[in-house]
Structure 1
Amino acid sequence: MATAEHTQVAVIGAGPAGLMLSHLLHLRGVETVVFESRSQEEVENTVRAGVLEQGTMKLMRDTGIGGRMDREADVDEGIEFSLDGVRTRIALTDLTGYNMAVYPQHEVLIDLIAQRQADNGAVLFNTRVDDVSGYDGDMVTVNYTDENGASATLTADYVVAADGSNSPYRAAVTALDNGARYKFEYPYAWFGILVNAPQTQKELIYATHEDGFALISTRSATVQRYYLQCDPEDTVDQWSDERIWEALHTRVDSEDLTVSEGEIFDKAVLRFRSAVTDPMQRGRLFLAGDAAHTVPPTGAKGLNLAIADVCALVPGLVHALQGDDARLQAYTQVAVPRVWRAQHFSYWMSSMLHVAPDASPFELHRRRGELSAVLSSEAGRRYLAEQYVGRELPDYMA
C-alpha cells in the first residue's frame, strides 16, 4: 500500500461535472484530485452530443476555456420546429437576448483537460476507485488502483461523485432515511447516426410527424448528427441505411428543404430515462451531474445541469474549507429545484414531439394541438425559447 496522500476535494469522474468542478475550485484556490477509470484518449474521443446554454457558454469564456468554443462551435440564434413538414422558427436571440451553441460534450472535455493539465491539476486517468469511506466522519478515505495496477490511498476533506448515471456512490445517499430516487422510463428511444454529409441547414430542426420524431443537428460543415424516434428495444441491425433515409425524409423533408445524405459511419440506440436523486449529499459525500440525475436529450439539459450543479457546489466547498459549512449543507436545496424544472421542460418537449406507441386517436390529435398552440403564440414561443437557452448559473464566486 502506497503512502497515503491528502487533498482537499477528491473528485470521482472526469466528465463535464468532475472536470469543471476541479477547474472552478482551482480558480478559488482549492486543491483537487480527479479520478477517471478510462484513458485520456477514450474520454476525449467518446463522441457525445452537446448543446450549450448561454450560462455555460459565458462560464467557459469567463474562466478561460472558451476560446476554441468561440472559434469552432456552431452558435445559433434560433431553432426550428417542423410539424408534418411545416416549419416554424423559434428566434431564440430575438425572444430572449441569448443564443446557444452546438458544441459536442467531448470537445468541452478536451478544453477542460487541456486547462487542468496547463494548471498542473491532478487528473488521474486509467485509475479505478475501489472504495470510499469515512464520509460520515471527519475525513474521507479513497482507496484506488493506479494506472500501473498498484493499490493506493488518498484522504480528502470532501469527495464528489461525478461518475455518471451508474455511480455506485449514489446508493450511500439513497440509503438515508430521507433519501429517494425518482425514476421514469419513456416508451420511446432515439436512433442516432453520424453521417459524412453537408449541412441540411445551420440551425437545429425538431420535427414531428405521425410516424414519429426526428432531429436534424450538425457537428461540422461536413459531419452531421441525426436522430429518429424508435422503439427502445430496437437494435442497430434493424435499421438499414435505406430505412434510415426513408424515415428521415418522411419526417423532415418539406417543399424547400431536403435532409442531406451521405456515408453513415456511426449508429446507436439511445434510451430515454429521467431520474432525480434527493438529497444530493450525505456527510462529506456529494453527487453532481448524471450521478445525481438524468434527463432525456430532447431538451438539451444534461450537460448544462451538470455545470449548474458544480456552480452551486463550489461556494459551499470553499466556505466549508474555511470553517463555515452552511452553504455546503444547503447544496441540495439549491440544486434540486433547478433539476426538477429541467425535468419538466425535458418531459414536456419529449411528450409534445414524440408519438407514444399506445396513444389513442384523441391523444395524437391533442399532442398536435398542443405543439401548434405553442408555435402559433408569441407567448408560447417565448416560453420555449427562455427554457431552451437556460437560466443563469449559480455564482461560483459567491
Structure 2
Amino acid sequence: MSESFYTDDHEELRKVVRTYVEREVTPNLARWERQRLVDREAWLAAGRQGLLGARIPEEYGGAGLDDYRVRCVISEEMAKVGATSPALGFALNDDIVLPYLLRLGTEEQKRRWLPGFCTGETIAAIAMTEPGAGSDLRGMRATATRDGDEWVINGAKTFITNGIQADLVIVAAQTQVDGAPAGLSLFVVESGTPGFTRGRKLDKIGQHAQDTAELFFDDVRVPAENLLGTEGAGMRHLVSNLPSERLSIAWYGLAMAEAALEWTLAYTRERTAFGKPILDFQATRFRLAELVTEVEVTRSHLEKLVHRYNAGELDVVDAAKAKWWATETQKKVIDSCLQLFGGYGYMMEYPIARAFIDSRVQTIYGGTTEIMKEIIGRSLAGPERGRPAAESAGS
C-alpha cells in the first residue's frame, strides 16, 4: 500500500480490529460456518469496540468519521483470516444500508434507527433482487399501495444478505396511489411486522456463515413515515448508492487477493518438491510475480477511488470499472494460489480452500461482471445512449 494512503490513526484502528478478530472471529469462524450463521454477540462485540457505524454523526451515537479508509482497514483485517461471511455482513450494514439512512432519512428516522448500527444491536438488509428480477431492477414486481396513513407491501425477494437476522429491511417496491403507478419507492420494514416472513436460509456454494435468505411480504402494513426518501424516486436513490456498494465489494476483493498471496508465499517458501522449496521453481516465481503485480496495480487504482469517494466524486461508471476488475482479479488470484497449494489447497482446513468457494460470488452480486461492462460500454456511447442502467445490487 502507498505510504500516504493510511494515517497513524488508521494504523491504531488496525490494532483494535486485529485484536477483535483474534478474540471474536478466528476462534468462532469454523463454528459459524457449520451453523451457517454469525452469532449476534460478534456484532455486539464489534459495536463495543467502535467498529460499526463509524461514519454516523455523534448525535446519533457514532464517531462521525466519514472516511472510507476506516472500512478499508476493517475489511483487510477480516480478509487476512478468511472471515468473508462476517466481513460481508458488516459491509452490508455500513457500506450499503447505512448510506441510504444517512442520505435519505428524516430526523425522526435517524434518531430511531441509527444508534443500533453503532452498538451492533441492529442488523440490516436491503431487499431488491426478486426471483424473477435479478440484474434488472426495472423488472421488480413487489408493490406498495397507499392506504390512508399506511403503505401495504406485497411481494417476494431473494438472495438477501443478512436476511435471517435482519432487524430492519429496506424494501424496494413499485408504488401505487389511488390505483395509479407512482414509480419505485423505498420502505423500511422492521422485524416482527405482521405479514413479513423469512423463508429458508439459502444453501450456497460458499460464504456459509452468511445468512442469505428469501423474504416474503404479504399485506405488510407500514406507517407512511417508513417511506425512505422521496416517493417514486426509488430508482434514483438506488443508482446514487451504487458507487458505495461496488467500492465495498471491490475493496474486499483486493483484500482477499492480498491475503491469498500472503498465505501462498508462506506456503511455497516452506513446502518442498524434488528437494527444494516450491518457490525456487521458475514457474512458481513467474506466476507469483504476475499475480503480485496485478494486485499491486489494483490497489494503487482503488486507493485513488477511495479518495474520490471520500470527496463525493466517485461515479457509477468508475465504480463499475473497479467492481468488475477487482473481483475478477480476486477470482483469478485465488484460483492460481490454490493451484500452488496442490492437493492441500483442496482441503477445507486450509484458508485458501474457503477463500476459493467464498470468492466465486464476488463477480455476481453487486451486479455481474457482464452488467458492469454494459454500464461502462453505454457510457462510451455518449450522454444519450450511455446513461448508466439501474440494475440489481444483488443484496
> What is the TM-score normalised by the length of structure 1?
0.27
Which one has a larger percent helix, Structure 1 or Structure 2?
2
> What is the TM-score normalised by the length of structure 2?
0.27
Which one has a larger percent strand, Structure 1 or Structure 2?
1
Higher RCO structure, 1 or 2 (CA under 8 Å, sep 6+) = 1
